[in-house]
């Protein structure tokens, strides 16, 4: 006999299914950086793409890639991003990770992609070009992609980091350190490039991008996490790819801006809209990604941060995203 209690239970299960989450939804903890780089994750959560693909997702936000990696190793996160310009150092030291889907940057198509990073100078410093940085106090987060970008720019201009006074500044303090005069210029990435230009009146954008480094990242997990439940990993990759497609669609720009303002502290929708246009969101990984990875390793070796080349295919596993592309080509039709 069908009881009222069982009817309520059945209705609850139906409601969960209708909302995109089944009673058997796989739990997953996804890390993202506290900036517009994490928009694929934020969109996947807010628009229900994780739920649609059978995942009960919790998004964990950290300020830096190194903090995300620490949380990953501690088991607080299942999947997290890390920039190609510092991740290889950790891999060489023995950390075991497998990258399964793109997170940030145009690495699938190019070995360099740095349009979201730049150098901003305070007014009255006389800094208008890279050459003008000589002898000046420059704020940069040591060991980050911004740091690698700065050193590559200096090298191209015939200088080294010894030709400037390099100050370690944490990402949340990029704008305030420039505004207070603690530094004469700062190396930052979005949204801080745009925020600095807004906040510090008369400030100068010395350079943006230029194809010097790959400000890129993939999402990875420890091998046990990636391969223990391949179905869950595939669902995660599918959700990320669908979210990236939604994010790139111009007609969704206003909604994306609202989502960013809810997830990234200190940002309103207008600021999100003005900064995301400088960021490439591409879930694909492949041969171009491997080239970008090798290019970053080459720079790290030149700066004596690594000892020898590292095979990117020891890190990258394209099988999941290849499956996604085969089953859902419509999510990638707008990409080159």
Q: Looking at the predicted structure, is the pLDDT value of residue 1 above 90?
A: no
The CATH architecture assigned to 4-112+214-331 reads 3-Layer(aba) Sandwich (3.40)
Q: Looking at the predicted structure, is the pLDDT value of residue 7 above 80?
A: no
Write the CA distances from 103 to 44, 115, 212, 281, 301, integer angstroms.
12, 15, 19, 7, 24
Q: Looking at the predicted structure, is the pLDDT value of residue 3 above 70?
A: no
Local confidence band at 67 (pLDDT 50, 70, 90 cut-offs): confident
The CATH architecture assigned to 117-208 reads 3-Layer(aba) Sandwich (3.40)
Say what the pLDDT of residue 246 is.
98
- Range list of β-strands (E), the chain: 26-33, 55-62, 80-83, 98-104, 117-121, 137-140, 165-168, 185-189, 204-208, 217-221
Q: What is the pTM of this model?
A: 0.86
pLDDT digits (tens, 9 = 90+) for 137-187: 999 999 888 999 999 999 999 999 999 999 999 988 999 999 999 999 999
Domains 4-112+214-331 and 117-208 share a fold: yes
Specify the higher pLDDT residue, 4 or 208: 208
Write the CA distances from 143 to 67, 69, 128, 194, 282, integer angstroms.
13, 14, 25, 22, 24
Percentage above 70 pLDDT, the chain: 93
pLDDT digits (tens, 9 = 90+) for 289-324: 999 999 999 989 988 899 999 999 999 999 999 999
C-alpha angle with apex 87: 83 to 92, nearest 5 degrees? Answer: 165
Domain boundaries, the chain: 4-112+214-331, 117-208
143: left (phi over 0), alpha (psi -120 to 50) or beta: left
Cβ(188)–Cβ(174) under 8 Å? yes
Specify the higher pLDDT residue, 100 or 109: 100
């Amino acid at each position: 006999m069908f009881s009222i209690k069982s009817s309520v239970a059945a209705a609850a299960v139906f409601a969960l299914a209708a909302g995109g989450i089944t009673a058997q939804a796989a739990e997953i903890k996804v890390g993202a950086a506290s900036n517009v780089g994490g928009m694929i994750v934020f969109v996947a959560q807010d628009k229900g793409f994780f739920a649609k693909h059978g995942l009960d997702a919790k998004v964990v936000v950290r300020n830096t890639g190194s903090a995300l990696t620490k949380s990953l190793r501690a088991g607080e996160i299942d999947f997290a991003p890390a920039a190609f310009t510092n991740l290889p150092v950790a891999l060489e030291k023995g950390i075991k990770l497998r990258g399964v889907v793109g997170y940030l940057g145009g690495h699938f198509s190019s070995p360099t992609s740095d349009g979201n990073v730049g150098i901003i100078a305070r007014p009255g410093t006389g800094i208008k070009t890279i050459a003008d940085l000589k002898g000046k106090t420059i704020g940069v987060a040591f060991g980050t992609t911004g740091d690698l970008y700065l050193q590559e720019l200096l090298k191209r201009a015939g200088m080294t980091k010894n030709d400037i006074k390099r100050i370690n500044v944490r990402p949340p303090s990029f704008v305030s350190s420039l505004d207070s005069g603690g530094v004469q210029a700062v190396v930052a990435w979005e949204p801080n490039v745009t925020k600095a230009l807004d906040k510090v009146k008369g400030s100068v954008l010395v350079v943006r991008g230029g194809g010097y480094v790959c400000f890129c990242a993939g999402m990875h997990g420890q091998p046990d996490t990636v391969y223990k439940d391949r179905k869950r990993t595939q669902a995660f990759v599918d959700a990320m790819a669908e979210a990236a497609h939604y994010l790139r669609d111009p007609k969704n720009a206003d909604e994306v801006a609202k989502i960013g303002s809810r997830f990234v502290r200190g940002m309103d929708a207008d600021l999100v809209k003005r900064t995301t246009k400088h960021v490439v969101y591409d879930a694909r990984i492949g041969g171009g990604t491997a080239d970008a990875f090798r290019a970053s390793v080459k720079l790290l070796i030149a700066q004596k941060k690594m000892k020898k080349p590292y095979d990117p295919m020891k890190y990258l596993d394209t099988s999941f995203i290849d499956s996604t592309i085969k089953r859902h080509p419509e999510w990638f039709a707008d990409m080159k």
